[in-house]
Amino acid sequence: MTCSTGVADYQWLTGDEAAALLGELSASPEALHTAAERLRRKLSPDRTHLLLEQLELRRHAAEKFTHADRMFFTRTAMEQATDQWVAAYKAQRFAGSEAVADFCCGIGGDLLALADVAATVGVDQSPIATHLAAANARAVLSAEAWERTALQTCDVEKFSVTGMAAWHLDPDRRPSGSRTTSLAWSSPPQPVVEQLLAAVPHAAIKLAPAAEVPAEWRERCELEWISRDRQCRQLVAWHGELAQVPGLRRATVLTEDETGQGVARSIVGQPDQFIPTAEKLERFVLEPDPAVLAAHLTGALAAEHGLAAVAAGPSYLTGGDPVVDAALACFEVEEVLPMKMRAIAQYLRDRGIGRLEIKKRGLDLDPERTRRELKLRGDGEATLLFTPLAGRQVAILARRITSREQLPGLQPLTSDR
């Protein structure tokens, strides 16, 4: 559906009439097409669309925000917004700053976390974005945090950073419609970013995990890749006093402990450190978290745990002892099978393995196509790791180790691999 929705409609969306309608719609079992017909009798097509779209966006946004049911989104801004866990982790470095600017704030993903630790002004060229960010801040922040939060609608280069102690920037990576990994083609472009850095050097710049980092930044700033739920969410270039290890890379994995408290596991080092290749496959195979892979810190992590590579090139790691580490997925090897799909399928059927996690490293293989070829049946479950090993392609049948509680039950191996 094409709509010419303007600021006035979004102002209405965040008002009392729309709030009552959203509450009614979210609680009603009525089919959306029936609700749409009813709403169009008293609302414009644009406002009807906004209400129904907002219900859908709030459902999707629940993966990013625990208070999504009272927040407001546009589709693009919701997709681009930093989730609350990553935002809260990043905001810790700004704690103690007197005043912080959040450039290209969108609907306020980072703004909400920054406002919890410092006086913050959100800046965006879109009046719809700043209006929704303000509405979200009122809905989510404490009274104290809301009191020290401001929004301003203007281009980044027109905002005066005078009085700002530090700033955060989430440049638009799709200013021309297609996504870019180059800061030169983002909005604002690199020259504007450099002007901001010259004025206030203490900054965090959010980039895509695969972004092309300017060469001159690599020595003077800290590059940090952040993951949550086994997805690398973003790369942050920390500048000035916000950089804790200038010239190094950091991979951070965000998880929760048994009490639900957030936990950050970080690996710091130089990229592409040497990893020895194992003489044989050991009892355990380990897979680095996507943030570690994106940061090219697999070598640093392997050295920390005394692990070796299963094969040269892109590869899993292997070791004789189990490792319970948020930065690694650990698997106990049960069998090594030649990469012959018919034989693998028969092996799995004989053992009643119908629930199979399929992973690959260093091979051109489509896991979902492979799943269809295997024609799985049964109630058993396992993991199948496809990888090169000793010059051949193999499938490693394994059991995922997810907690320390599983370790005491490990049985001695009866065969050498």
Q: What would the pLDDT profile of 192-221 be if each residue is shown by its tens digit? A: 999 999 999 999 999 999 999 999 999 899
CA geometry: angle 138, 96, 135, nearest 5 deg: 10
Res. 175 pLDDT band, cuts 50 70 90? low
Average pLDDT over residues 60-87: 96
| pLDDT beyond 80 at 180 | no
129 plus 21 within the same structural domain = no
pLDDT of residue 65: 97
23 plus 116 within the same structural domain = no
Average pLDDT over residues 233-261: 93
pLDDT of residue 259: 77
Q: In which domain, by residue range, is 229 found?
A: 78-247
Is 238 within a domain? yes
Is 261 within a domain? no
CB under 8 Å to 287, separation ≥6 — which residues? 316, 317, 328, 329, 331, 359, 361, 385
| pLDDT beyond 70 at 414 | no
Give SS3 for 398: strand
Is 265 within a domain? no
Give the residue with greater pLDDT, 294 vs 4: 294
For the chain, what is the mean pLDDT?
Answer: 92
CA 167/CA 152 separation, integer angstroms: 14
Q: Which residues pair with 166 in a beta bridge?
A: 100
The CATH number for 375's domain is 3.30.2130
68, two tokens: 């999504």
Q: Which of 219, 247, 275 is the last residue of a domain?
A: 247
109 plus 238 within the same structural domain = yes
39 plus 140 within the same structural domain = no
Is 343 within a domain? yes
| pLDDT beyond 60 at 4 | no
CB under 8 Å to 355, separation ≥6 — which residues? 376, 379, 380, 381, 382
90 plus 227 within the same structural domain = yes
155 plus 240 within the same structural domain = yes
Kind and range of the H or E run holding 355: strand 353-360
Res. 139 pLDDT band, cuts 50 70 90? very high
Against a cut of 0.75, is the pTM above it? Answer: yes
Q: Which residues pair with 207 in a beta bridge?
A: 235
Res. 3 pLDDT band, cuts 50 70 90? very low
pLDDT of residue 178: 61
| pLDDT beyond 90 at 120 | yes
Is 112 within a domain? yes
pLDDT of residue 413: 37
How many distinct structural domains can be found in the chain?
3
CA 134/CA 108 separation, integer angstroms: 8
52 plus 109 within the same structural domain = no
Distance of CA 260 to the CA centre of its chain: 19
Res. 406 pLDDT band, cuts 50 70 90? low
49 plus 164 within the same structural domain = no
Is 260 within a domain? no
351 plus 206 within the same structural domain = no
